[in-house]
């Protein structure tokens, strides 16, 4: 069986859909989706888009795989968790085995106002899919999507509840039209305090992938200005009609799409030390300079550092004790970030980083 025939057979159940066809499949093959965050939502949506035949997927994530991820993050296995592999790399390796006919580009990087412009410039995506776990990054992505006129497929899950909407800049309300400001720190539950039900993730990711496919095959007319909300445990579901907000006059109050104020993208809400959701760990943001991991390994050789991957060096600091009595663990990333495991105190994390990295 030659290659074109084999590819046709792979996608046959999709191309025979009256709404789809071979031309739509060809459009998908030429398209590029950027998935920011390869956690529960990012894994599920990336899996669906890879299997659908989206030609290029760029996967961006700052984190590593842990055992607690496996309950809902469908691209990882126990070996990934044991090795604590970078999520973007582990997911890309899995998707390469799922569909060898597409390109999957992992980026182990923290998405901030400093790094996002380069990610977007390198990828040049046709759509941005939200797989993040925090409001700040979502508002940052919303800024970039509106500024660059790239469709943004928002989604969120916490506990048994989910939300999803798709933003078509210039044609539909943006995130700040609907939720003008992000919630105050500590005012909303997190995955650490409320948990996450895996099936709720599947529903939101399915809606995200469907809207992304509509965008990528040129059927934006099928993407409706609505906000889906549901609670899978109580069987409650509603879809809010946002069409009244589509009128430019109705969006005049929006600081982002009306006033063109991109305060998240401008770095006004950046924080150099962030406690990671669900972990006794703090991330130290990159200063914008990449880290030479070979040099770092040489500097920290007395602690026998482990090179987990080309983008990650991990070292256990025997002289630093975590809050549970175990040694503090320092993970250094090639993009210049670090994660200090064993403390939730940003000040202490900064101190450990300064002491051993010296920056």
- How does pLDDT run across 216-229, given as a tens digit for each residue? 999 999 999 999 99
Tokens of 62: 């700052």
CATH match of 31-251 with 3.40.50.720: yes
Measured between alpha carbons, how far is 163 from 238 in angstroms, rounded to an integer? 10
What number of other Cβ atoms are within 10 A of residue 228's Cβ?
A: 17
Which tens digit of pLDDT belongs to each residue from 138-177? 999 999 999 999 999 999 999 999 999 999 998 999 999 9
Mean pLDDT (the chain) is 89
Among 36-40, 301-305, 314-318, 321-325, name the most confident range: 36-40
pLDDT at 349: 83
**Segments making up each domain of the chain, as ranges:** 31-251, 273-357
Task: Report the pLDDT value the prediction gives residue 354, as an integer from 0 to 100.
Answer: 72
Angle subtended at Cα 175 by Cα 185 and Cα 20, rounded to the nearest 5 degrees: 135
Tokens of 1: 């069986």
Within 8 A by CB and 6+ apart from 1, the residues are 9
Confidence of residue 187 (pLDDT cuts 50, 70, 90): low
Which pLDDT score, from 0 to 100, does residue 6 have? 63
What is the structure's pLDDT at 291?
85
Q: Is the pLDDT of residue 34 over 90?
A: yes
List residues with catalytic annotation: 191
d(CA 327, CA 312): 19
Given a contact cutoff of 8 angstroms between Cβ atoms, the answer to whether 204 and 155 are in contact is yes
Judge whether residue 1 has pLDDT over 50: no
Query: What are 82-112's pLDDT values in tens digits?
Result: 998 999 999 999 999 999 999 999 999 888 8
Q: Looking at the structure, give the CATH architecture of the domain made up of residues 273-357.
A: 2-Layer Sandwich (3.30)
């Amino acid at each position: 069986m030659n290659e074109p025939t084999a590819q046709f057979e792979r996608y046959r159940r999709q191309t025979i859909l009256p709404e789809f066809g071979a031309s739509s499949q060809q459009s998908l093959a030429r398209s590029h989706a950027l998935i920011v965050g390869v956690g529960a939502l990012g894994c599920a949506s990336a899996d669906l888009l890879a299997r659908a035949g989206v030609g290029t997927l760029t996967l961006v994530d700052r984190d590593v795989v842990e055992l607690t991820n496996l309950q809902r993050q469908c691209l990882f296995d126990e070996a990934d968790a044991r090795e604590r592999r970078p999520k973007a790399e582990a997911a890309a390796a899995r998707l390469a085995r799922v569909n060898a006919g597409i390109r999957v580009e992992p980026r182990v990087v923290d998405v901030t106002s400093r790094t996002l412009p380069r990610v977007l410039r390198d990828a040049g995506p046709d759509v941005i899919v939200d797989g993040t776990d925090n409001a700040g990054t979502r508002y940052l992505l919303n800024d970039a999507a509106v500024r660059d006129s790239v469709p943004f497929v928002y989604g969120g899950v916490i506990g048994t509840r989910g939300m999803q909407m798709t933003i078509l800049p210039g044609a539909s309300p943006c995130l700040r039209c609907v939720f003008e400001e992000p919630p105050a720190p500590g005012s909303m539950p997190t995955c650490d305090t409320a948990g996450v039900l895996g099936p709720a993730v599947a529903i939101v990711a399915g809606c995200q992938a469907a809207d992304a496919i509509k965008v990528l095959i040129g059927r934006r007319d099928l993407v409706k200005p609505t906000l889906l909300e549901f609670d899978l445990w109580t069987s409650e579901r509603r879809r809010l009609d946002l069409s009244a907000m589509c009128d430019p006059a109705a969006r005049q109050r929006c600081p982002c799409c009306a006033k063109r104020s991109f305060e998240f993208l401008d770095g006004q809400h950046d924080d150099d030390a962030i406690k990671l959701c669900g972990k006794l760990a703090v991330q130290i943001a990159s200063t914008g300079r990449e880290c030479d991991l070979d040099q770092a390994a040489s500097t920290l050789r007395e602690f026998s550092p482990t090179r987990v991957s080309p983008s990650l060096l991990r070292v256990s600091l025997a002289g630093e004790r975590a809050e549970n009595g175990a040694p503090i663990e320092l993970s250094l990333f090639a993009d210049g970030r670090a994660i200090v495991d064993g403390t939730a105190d940003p000040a202490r994390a900064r101190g450990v980083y300064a002491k051993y990295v010296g920056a």
